[in-house]
Amino acid sequence: VDLSELGEFGFIETLRGWAPNVDTGDDAAIVTLGGQTFALTTDALVEGIHFRRDWSEPLDIGWKAVSVNVSDLAASGARPCWILLALAVPPETGAEFLQGIYRGVSEACDSYGCVLVGGDTVRADEVVIAITAMGVVEGSPLRRRGAEVGDVVAVTGPLGRAATGVNLLLSGDPKWVLPEDALPCIDAHRRPIARVAEGIRLGAAGAHAAIDLSDGLASDVHRLAEACGHGVELFDIPIADEVLRIADARGWDAEAIALTGGEDFELLVTGPESVLGELIPIGRIVDDGVYIVRDDKRENLPASGFDHFSGR
C-alpha cells in the first residue's frame, strides 16, 4: 500500500491503528493540565503543493502558514497563544525569502494575538514550513463530535473565493476578467484569515460543534458527519458574490468551486439557531448520510474535496 493509493482519508484511518493516542477527529488536539484546557495543532505547508513562490510573496506564505494553524484553534474555540516554526529550506535560499517568511509569521501572530516563541531552521531540498500552534480554551472546547441531530449547520462566511483565486492563477491569464472581483479571490488564497473571534464567541455561546473549512465544504462535512456519528443535510451553498460573477464570466461551475475548492477557512458550526444567529445557515444535522437538497430532492454529496495525497 502506498500513500498515493491511500489518500488522506485512508491514511488517517490507517494512522489510527498506528498511533491510537492521536485523536484525528478534531482540528486540534484538546489536552488539559492543572485545570487549564489547551488546543494544540500542527500543519505543514510544502512549496509547490500548498504555495508557489510565483503566486505568493514570502510575507503571504508566512502569514498563511500561521493562519491555517490558527484556524484549527478557532474551530476548537481556543484563543491562540504560542506559535513554533520549523522551517526546512534549500541552502541556497536567499535571506530575503527567509526574512519575508518570518515577517509574515510575525504579522499574522500580531494580528491573532499570539507570539512566535520558537523555531528551527534546517537544510532541505525544498521549502517545508511546519507550524505548531497552541491556544487556551476558556470554557468547553468545540469538537466535531459535539454535533446533535436537529442542530442548525451554519458557516461564518460565503465560500469559494480562495479556490477561484487559485483557478485564476492557474489559468495564467494576465488580464483577469473583473479585476475588482479577482483580487479578493486571489487574496483569499494568499492571505486567508482565521475566524478566531468567531470561534471563541461561538464556543462561549454554546455552539455544539465546529470544523474549519480547509479542504472543501463537501469533504469537511463528511468529516464532521463521521466524527459526530450523525448525518448532514445541506440546503444551501453560500457562494461569494465575486465567485458567482467570475464563474459566470468564465463559464465555471460556481457551486462546484464552493463545494470542493477548499482553503476558505470559514468555520462550519452546528448548534441551536439562537446561538448561530449571525451566521449563514446552510443545513442541519440529520440521523445519517451526507446530502444536498436540490429542488426539494435529496442527493448524496460525495466527499471529493481537496486531497493532499491525490494531488489537486
Closest distance of CB 205 from a copy of itself, Å: 23
Closest distance of CB 55 from a copy of itself, Å: 18
DSSP summary character for residue 28: S
Inter-residue contact 47 to 232 (CB < 8 Å): no
Q: Three-state SS for 307?
A: strand
Closest distance of CB 108 from a copy of itself, Å: 12
The number of angstroms, rounded, from the C-alpha of 46 to the middle of its chain's C-alpha atoms is 16
Inter-residue contact 312 to 7 (CB < 8 Å): no
Nearer to a copy of itself by Cβ, of 140 and 184: the residue is 140
The answer to whether residue 170 forms part of the interface with a copy of itself (CB under 8 A) is no
CA–CA distances in Å: residue 136 to residues 40, 140, 163, 184: 9, 10, 31, 31
Q: x/- binding map, residues 14-33, to a copy of itself, per CB under 8 A?
A: xx--xx-xxx----xx-x-x
- What b/e string do you get for 231-264 counting C-beta neighbours within 10 Å, with b at 16 or more? bbbbeebbbbebbbbbbeebebebbbbbbbbbbb
Nearer to a copy of itself by Cβ, of 1 and 300: the residue is 1
C-alpha cell read off for 61: 506564505
Closest distance of CB 1 from a copy of itself, Å: 5
Q: Report the half-sphere exposure of 259 (CA within 13 A, side-chain side).
A: 18
The single residue among 102, 112, 252, 306 that binds a copy of itself, judged by CB under 8 A, is 102
Closest distance of CB 307 from a copy of itself, Å: 10
The answer to whether residue 206 forms part of the interface with a copy of itself (CB under 8 A) is no
The answer to whether residue 140 forms part of the interface with a copy of itself (CB under 8 A) is no
The single residue among 65, 73, 89, 286 that binds a copy of itself, judged by CB under 8 A, is 89
With both helix axes pointing from N to C terminus, report the angle between 58-74 and 95-112 in degrees, rounded to the nearest 10. 30
Q: Which residues would be at the binding site for a copy of itself (CB under 8 A)? A: 1-4, 6, 8, 11, 14-15, 18-19, 21-23, 28-29, 31, 33-36, 40-46, 49-50, 81-82, 84-89, 91-95, 98-99, 102-103, 105-106, 109, 115-126, 128, 130, 132, 134, 136, 308-309
